[in-house]
Amino acid sequence: MTPGKYDGGMSNTPIWTNPLRDPRDLRLPRIAGPCSLVIFGVTGDLAQKKLLPAVYDLANRGLLPPSFGLTGFARRDWTNEHFIEFVKTAVKARCRTPFKESTWENLAKGIRFVQGTFDDPAAFERLSNTVQELDRDRGTQGNHAFYMSVPPRAFPLVSKQLAASGLSRSSEGAWRRVIIEKPFGHDLQSAKELDRVVSEVFDPSSVFRIDHYLGKETVQNILALRFANEMYEPIWNSNYVDHVQITMAEDIGIGGRAGYYDGIGAARDIIQNHLLQLMALTAMEEPVSFSAQDLTAEKTKVLSAVRLPKDLRAHTARGQYARGWQGSHEVVGYLDEKGIDKSSTTETYAAIRLDVDTRRWAGVPFYLRTGKRLGKRVTEIAVVFKRAPHLPFEQTAVRELGSNAVVIRVQPDEGVTMRFGAKVPGGSAMEVRDVSMDFSYGRSFTESSPEAYERLILDVLLGDPPLFPTTEEVDLSWKILDPIEQFWSTLGQPQPYRSGTWGPAEADEMLARDGRHWRMP
Amino acid sequence: MIIDLPNTRTREISAKIDELHEERGESATGRVLTLLIRTDDAELENSLEVANAASREHPCRVIAIVPNTHASIVSGEGEATSESENAADESNLDAQVRFGADAGAGEVIVLRPRNGLVDHLDTLVIPLLVPDAPVVAWWPTNPPSNPSKDLLGAMASSRITDAMRSSNPEATIERLRRNWSAQDVDLSWTRLTVWRAMLASMVDQPPHIPIVHARVTAPNDFLPADLLRAWLRLKLNVPVDFEVDENAAAVTGVYLTRQDGGVLSLERPHEDQSIISVPGQTPQPISVPVRTLEDCLTEELRRMDPDEVYADVINKGWDLISH
């Protein structure tokens, strides 16, 4: 994000500059320096579907160094060859760029497998030896990143083992980094505890929290849209904006994640990280620069200015999907899902109203909603504008005119839509109706943009943190959500909603109370 | 879909394109640029294939201009002047519009002007340009001696030449250098990006001992190798030796000697396998596929602002190395 400031990522001596690098030389891609990536939980879904293909795609795009190692750590009793075959299958199934035997051959030379469990010190001893062997044979020079693709409850144990085996410590000039996935705790207290555990072992600046939403091109485009253009900023405030709706809808149910999901719920799973991050990017002031520090400063300001509604009953809503037809398929209700307690009060739909106490956003509510088994899979940010203060038309002419809106479509069909009124052609009387103006990423730019994980893994290897939320942001997000969760825990059963609809009636009532309604995404 | 429009006018071409867009429910406003290709019959299909592939990353309208220089004899009507008032009957233009599977992520227009029209290529393409979008001109083989003064080149905000594929690379690059302007770039430079990136990240690695000498091995008269040497000479400010590698097809090695005598090297003995060697470490192989024309064109379309490093290399670095 700071092309002009890139100094090679690796140099720790500020005085030395690489004579071959020139800030004006914008062609040169950022290639990670010698390093290795160790993945814990490498047989899991995330590793198989996202991480391993992303590593290959990075290699295929020439962004990984020749001295690169990839180590898998898992319980299975595999040899190196087994594991290499496993990686190859995963890569072939999901890689975004074409599979090339030559790229794969070179990547495969740096692939290692360590068998073991997290409570076995000997396994970490073997891991330590493997990593040292990579340093020796592959020239990874002591730079290693540890990807914790494991449940959060395993973090303390893995961290401790990494510390005990000396893996968390780096020699001079080298780095060790750790990557953790959400959830970052389930409330403020547990988030702090998790942070304490990890930061006992790793320096806070070496901890990268992945919120893969922030690696998405469209999310980064929010920054471009807002701060590279002149036409939005003047109206991006309470003078013109009526309210903002941020939606992340999924059409799937909980699938096989019952164990993780039950007791967590939609708000902790999605609102705490993804939606509050999207809100922060939408609402924040212009950062001084796009460096991690400046970007975080602005996001933190917004999150700390968030005010909860006084009457949580009136301004939040939750629901639980009931059986129904999801599009063309019959699906069971949440309480009938495998592994779910029949009396579970976990919400699968959550909607909340938040206000931002700043001059820019005074009186502009932000409505955040997310849910499973909704009408379709869609994520969008809709900035809905006030109606024109005076309409010099007959009342009948503007009956069909809605509010203007700028909609940032995050997924699928990434792009931006503008809604505004236009005259209906012909007819004897003037009539104005809503029309859309569309910008679609796929049409104006590359057909396949890099996967979020490609970008994020590369950023970790380069040590470039702007797209990763900090501890402070995580803590602030929990501060926002904790009171709501506490209130909800007193309520009992969430309102059921039929699968395939847009959520419980409660949510519609919540907006109706403010004289508004949800957009249909 | 390929539609031939013999003896046509630009207005008819525009109307045809609009009609097709409407019929196919597409919008023409998503095009991010117009790519003008000035070429000949022999090179046309190959160039269009490359442009179509590049258009998948940069949806563009491709306009290929292939002047028909033998036309007036064929028509046999003596003075078939383009200025005549009833030009509607006597067209000087054959065209072809390609859509869908024949056109990548945009549309392709092939223009074959003849007679007097071949001297007015700029006003020929003006009505067909994508509105309010940059124009890029590309000469796949022989460029004009002064691209920025060329009728098509002057309209373009970015001019892409390819001296290596011209009939006389040495003479062509000399001419291009003499007439260089900030928006010009030659694909010989683009072919080096991967090598340059790998060399730069090699030098990134500690220990940061100054480099005192460099050596490049490549075939004789290989333009990208000259540019690579010029770049190294300019940036490292050390002597850059050249060693002829008779049988090679491209650059085969770069060797950077440090003050302590250690040598960093990047070698590509085979097609797409490179070896990186650093003192005190096992040499590491990495796959570096030879860049295709498509890779290079795609890279050029990615950024359209002048490349100042290239400017330095051909204006300053070039004179510092032996030729």
ipTM of this complex prediction, to 2 decimal places: 0.82
* Dihedral sign of CA atoms B83, B87, B90, B92 in order: positive
Structure tokens at A146: 């540890």
How far apart CA B125 and CA A210 sit, in angstroms, is 49
- Residue A168 · residue A159 · CB < 8 Å: yes
Closest CA to A500 of A332, A359, A339: A332
Closest CA to A507 of A347, A378, A301: A347
Say whether pLDDT at A3 is over 50: no
pLDDT mean over B104-133: 90
| Cα–Cα distances in angstroms (integers) from residue B161 to residues A19, A339, B55, in the given order | 28, 65, 18
The one catalytic residue in A274, A315, A390, A517 is A274
From B201, B236, B273, residue closest to A33, measured CB to CB: B201
Q: B276 and A66: CB-CB below 8 Å?
A: yes
Closest CA to B112 of B128, B91, B136: B91
The residue whose two tokens read 């470490």 is: B281
SS3 assignment, position B286:
strand
Q: Which helix (H) or strand (E) holds B273?
A: strand B273-277
User: pLDDT value at position A170?
Assistant: 79
DSSP for residue B202:
H
Contacts of A445 in chain B (CB under 8 A): 32, 57-59
Our CA-based measurement puts residue A326 at a distance from the nearest CA of chain B, in whole angstroms, of 30
Q: In the structure, what pLDDT confidence band is assigned to residue A11 with cuts at 50, 70 and 90? A: very low
Higher pLDDT, A255 or A270: A270
Contacts of A33 in chain B (CB under 8 A): 201, 204-205
Q: B57 and A137: CB-CB below 8 Å?
A: no
Task: Quickly list H helices, A346-407.
Answer: none
CB pairs under 8 A between A and B: 114
Chain A residues 58-117 with a CB less than 8 Å from chain B: 62, 65-67, 100, 102-103, 105-106, 109
Beta strand B284-287 with B273-277 is antiparallel
SS3 assignment, position A350:
strand
**Residues paired with A436 in a beta bridge:** A419
Our CA-based measurement puts residue A101 at a distance from the nearest CA of chain B, in whole angstroms, of 10
> Which tens digits make up the pLDDT trace of A376-416?
899 999 999 998 888 888 777 777 788 999 999 988 878 89
Give how far the C-alpha of residue B172 lies from the chain's centroid of Cα atoms, to the nearest Å: 14
pTM for this entry? 0.84
Ordered structural domains, chain A, with CATH:
31-181 (3.40.50.720), 215-513 (3.30.360.10)
Our CA-based measurement puts residue A223 at a distance from the nearest CA of chain B, in whole angstroms, of 20
Which of B205, B265, B275, B303 should we substitute to test contact with A (largest number of A Cβ atoms within 10 Å)? B205
What is the per-residue DSSP string for A108-132?
HHTEEEEE--TT-HHHHHHHHHHHH
**Residues paired with B243 in a beta bridge:** B217
User: pLDDT value at position B81?
Assistant: 46
How far apart CA A368 and CA A365 sit, in angstroms, is 10
Omega prior to A234 cis, within 30 of 0: no
How far apart CA B300 and CA B159 sit, in angstroms, is 10
The answer to whether residue A137 neighbours chain B at the CB level (below 8 Å) is yes
- Residue A258 · residue A339 · CB < 8 Å: yes
Chain A residue with the nearest C-alpha to that of B287 = A103
How far apart CA B239 and CA B229 sit, in angstroms, is 9
The answer to whether residue A443 neighbours chain B at the CB level (below 8 Å) is yes
Say whether pLDDT at B79 is over 50: no
The answer to whether residue A143 neighbours chain B at the CB level (below 8 Å) is no
Chain B residue with the nearest C-alpha to that of A61 = B288
Q: A443 and B206: CB-CB below 8 Å?
A: no
- A274 as an active site residue: the answer is yes
> Which tens digits make up the pLDDT trace of A142-154?
899 999 998 878 8
Our CA-based measurement puts residue A438 at a distance from the nearest CA of chain B, in whole angstroms, of 10
